Amino acid sequence: MTDKSTQRLMLSASNLPTPHDTTDYSEPTTVLLLPAFAIVQNVHPKNVSQLITSVINQAPTNSSPLAPWRSAIPASLPSPDASIADLTIKSSPHNAVILMCSQKTRDARCGQSAPLLRKELERHLRPLGLFRDLHDERPGGVGIYFISHVGGHKYSANVMVYRRPNAFGRDDEPLPEGVEEAAPKDDKEDIKEEEEAQNGEEKGDVGAAQCIWLARVRPEDCENLVRYTVLKGKVVKPERQLRGGFDRGRGLMSW
């Protein structure tokens, strides 16, 4: 694997359900590892070192080529401490994940906007059969999670959309006027084999192919956010909302 000792790792608190649905800090918690699209359960301060060396350091990063990675990691890792359960690793069942800044203490605007945006996103995802609540593990669909503050106070209503390769089979559909690629469309890599491996075979999971980071998102933007960004990986208002992201399928680390 590539040496990751100098790479940054962003850690955010979230409302991802814990193994026992408790908020007690003495109990193990759950980690959603992105862009790997991996869920790691039974994480505890006593096994964090194991989590980093045996899972995070083996998982893909934003700059990794699209390739299966799970074969290097077993479904469970024996606990280094008899008092805590083994780490368990599984692929996220979702085809896309939306992360929204919701921390009131850093920026009240995010704390106010996140619940409104979530409700509006749910309204547009439900008719498509794609909305997944916190405990819904049906394959496919879109998971929505609140996270702690990201970015500077200059930007509020931050939304990050992580997508599997051609998550809903609509990435190559023609775009209407005014809707743009999230990144310049250079020679696109043929990722058909990775997509086929990802769809249904956990060992062939390549993780997220794309992340689109938006800010200043308003409730009235949510319909097009679902229609174009979630379903097709495109951006409707890049000049006003696009903050960054990556596209591993095209080898683009930022735009």
Residue 154 clears pLDDT 90, i.e. is over it: no
Question: Is it the case that residue 248 has pLDDT exceeding 70?
Answer: yes
- From residue 235, alpha-carbon distances to 52, 116, 126, 128 in Å are 33, 20, 21, 20
Q: Quick check: pTM over 0.75? A: yes
Is the pLDDT at 199 greater than 50, yes or no? no
Picking from 24-33, 74-83, 181-190, 212-221, which range would have the lowest pLDDT averaged per residue?
181-190
CB 137, CB 93: distance < 8 Å: yes
Lowest mean pLDDT among 25-34, 109-118, 135-144, 175-184: 175-184
Longest dimension (CA), the chain: 60
Residue 242 has pLDDT above 70, yes or no: yes
Residue 187 has pLDDT above 60, yes or no: no
Contact assessment for residue 147 and residue 14, using Cβ atoms and an 8 Å cutoff? yes
Interval 228-255 mean pLDDT: 90
pLDDT at 188: 40
Instruction: Compute the average pLDDT of residues 224-241.
Output: 94
| Closest CA relative to residue 37, chosen from 117, 132, 172, 140 | 140
> Is 97 in contact with 65 (CB distance < 8 Å)?
no
Q: Which residues contact 93 (CB under 8 A, 6 or more apart)?
A: 132, 137, 138, 139, 140, 141
What phi and psi values does residue 222 have, to the nearest 5 degrees? -70, -35
Q: Provide mean pLDDT across the span 111-121.
A: 88
For the chain, domains (ranges, CATH) are 29-91 (no CATH), 96-172+206-254 (3.40.30)
Confidence band of 173 (pLDDT split at 50, 70, 90): confident
The predicted pLDDT at position 42 comes to: 95
Question: pLDDT at residue 7 above 80?
Answer: no
Please report the pLDDT score of residue 165 as a whole number: 97
What is the percent of the chain where pLDDT is above 90? 60
Average pLDDT over residues 37-58: 95
Residue 192 confidence (pLDDT) above 50: no
Are residues 222 and 237 in contact, defined by beta-carbon separation less than 8 angstroms?
no
Is the Cα torsion angle 31, 32, 37, 42 positive or negative in sign? positive
